[in-house]
Amino acid sequence: MTARPRLSIGLPVYNGEEYLAESFDALLGQTYGDFELVVSDNASTDGTQDICREYAGKDSRIRYLRLPRNIGAAPNHNRVFAECRGELFKWASHDDLYARDLLRRCVEALDERPEVILAHADQAVIDEEGRVKVPYAYGLATASPSAPVRFRSMLFEPGGDDFYGVMRADVLRRVKPHDSYHHADRTFVAEIGLNGPFHQVPELLYFRRDHPTRAERANPSKRSRCVNLDPRRAGPLHPTPRLLAEYVWGFVAAIRRAPLSAADRRACYRHLAEWAASRARPGAGERVEDRAPVDPDKLTVSVDELVAGREGRAGRTA
């Protein structure tokens, strides 16, 4: 593949054999095809390498890279972005599913709205089999023209997963790379949001899989999650209080780096102080995937109808 693609998709993976082929099928079956798919295998020890080589042999849009050792999830995420060439960029997860029109609708949204720097779509949490557990409406005010309003919403509202949206690569290069302290993904997305508004496509097109081997489930403690993000976090130099302090400082540093007016910067600091005080209240830090599952008989959406590669499962309501 010699032509420069419009969109680059970065897929970091470690021991993803259980769901990786499904994710490949969903991405390669998109109605928007002007993309490259850069896969960085973090020294997997299962069948991930074989699956990647098989798919790369069938589709020239895939570029497969394999690391000689596990560098951690955060450096691997940064690596796939550094390897990508498109003017637009999206991270993909090896265990999630994507409706056929996801990329097309997000790229169209960015083309129609020059001020928007990230586009994503409505989403639902699915289980191991791809059945919808928790569909939920996007409640964040990230479309606001006001940076402090966007920032406050990202601090206080649960859900979103804008980390997996389609972004303008030049904006992504302005922010600090993804770090590995507790909830570093939240400070990372917040800094992106301080650079411009997002757009949420009002269609259910993204399905985030929740399963026992998902990184957050398999690493229940703050320490273990951070070590998964970067093995250098192991050891006495990175106690939990330091990881939490870095989390709060990550927001402070994002505000300092962002292209804000003095008034907007002060407003963001006030929101951050209010958020820090609120963390001691009951119910703080709600996770969407922990909400009560919906009654499957009341669902009208079928993952099997929306996602490429699942045609053979037609007839099963998800």
Q: What are phi and psi of 203, to 5 degrees?
A: -140, 140
Query: What is the CB neighbour count within 10 angstroms for residue 311?
Result: 11
The predicted structure's pLDDT at residue 315: 46
Query: What is the CB neighbour count within 10 angstroms for residue 213?
Result: 12
The predicted structure's pLDDT at residue 38: 98
- DSSP per-residue string spanning 99-131: BTTHHHHHHHHHHH-TT--EEEEEEEEE-TTS-
Residue 201 CA to residue 102 CA, distance in Å, equals 9
Residue 140 CA to residue 151 CA, distance in Å, equals 10
Q: What are phi and psi of 206, to 5 degrees?
A: -125, 135
67 and 138 Cβ atoms separated by less than 8 Å: no
Distance of alpha carbon 36 from its chain centroid, rounded?
Answer: 18
pTM of the model: 0.92
Residue 20 CA to residue 16 CA, distance in Å, equals 6
Residue 104 CA to residue 23 CA, distance in Å, equals 17
Q: Which residues contact 101 (CB under 8 A, 6 or more apart)?
A: 30, 31, 32, 203, 205
Per-residue pLDDT of the chain (318 residues; tens, 9 = 90+): 458 999 999 999 999 999 999 999 999 999 999 999 999 999 999 999 999 999 999 999 999 999 999 999 999 999 999 999 999 999 999 999 999 999 999 999 999 999 999 999 999 999 999 989 888 888 899 999 999 999 999 999 876 679 999 999 999 999 999 999 999 999 999 999 999 999 999 999 999 999 888 887 888 899 999 999 999 999 899 999 999 999 999 999 999 999 999 999 999 999 999 999 987 554 445 666 666 777 666 677 789 999 999 986 654 444
